[in-house]
Amino acid sequence: MSRLVLQNWLAPADLKSAWPGHEQRLRGALERLDGVRILELKPGQGLLEIKAPNVRGEQKLKSVVEDMLKPLKGWKVYEESTYDLPTTER
């Protein structure tokens, strides 16, 4: 099980007008997709949980989500990753 980050890179003004249409299409499509759960979806951003039997399956699901977003302007899909604070260990 892994997570995907959805991010829209349109300028704020363009996003504001596009978002209502995008949200409707995104929710509709994502909710019908087996193995995908919406954890969060807000203007210009989203977080999905994807569940597949193996890594290859998850890659395929990621491709499906990417294809789904292609007609909508400004969206990109990223795998979730983690960062730390680089202070020293005492």
Partner 1 sequence: MARSNLKDYVVLPARGIVSDNLATASLVNIAKRQSVRDVFDSMKNLKGLARFALNEGTSAVRYALEHGESKDYSLEVLHSFMDDGPKLVRMAPEAERLLRAEGLRVVPVTHYQLAVTAAPITVSAIDPAKLVNATDFLRHLYRGTATGPLGDGVTIGVLDSGVDGDHPRLKSVGGGRGLVRDESDLDWGPCGGKEGVHGTHVAGIICAAGDPAAGPVGVAPRAKVRSYRIFSKSNVKAGAQNYAIINAIRAAIEDGCDIINLSISGRGAKDDGVRDAINYAWDNGSLCLAAAGNDGRKPVSYPAAFPNCVAVSALGKDDLIPAGEKDRSFIADPRSQSDPTIFLASFSNLGPQIDFAGPGVWIVSTLPGGSMGAMSGTSMATPAVTGIAAVALSQNPTILGAKRDALRAEAIYKLLVSRAKPYRLGSFDYEGYGIPQA
Give me the residues that bind partner 1 (CB under 8 A), please: 3, 5, 7, 9, 12, 39-40, 44-45, 47, 59, 76, 78-90
Q: In angstroms, rounded to a whole number, what is the distance separating the alpha carbons of residues 69 and 59?
A: 15
Q: Which CB, 32 or 46, lies closer to partner 1?
A: 46
Residue 79 CB, nearest approach to partner 1 (Å): 7
Beta bridge partners of residue 75, listed in sequence order: 8
Residue 73 CB, nearest approach to partner 1 (Å): 15
Q: Supply the DSSP string of 7-58, one letter for each residue.
A: EE-S-HHHHHHHHHHHHHHHHHHHHTSTTEEEEEEETTEEEEEE--SSHHHH
Q: Which CB, 27 or 78, lies closer to partner 1?
A: 78
Q: In angstroms, rounded to a whole number, what is the distance separating the alpha carbons of residues 62 and 1?
A: 12
Residue 35 CB, nearest approach to partner 1 (Å): 19
Q: Which CB, 32 or 87, lies closer to partner 1?
A: 87
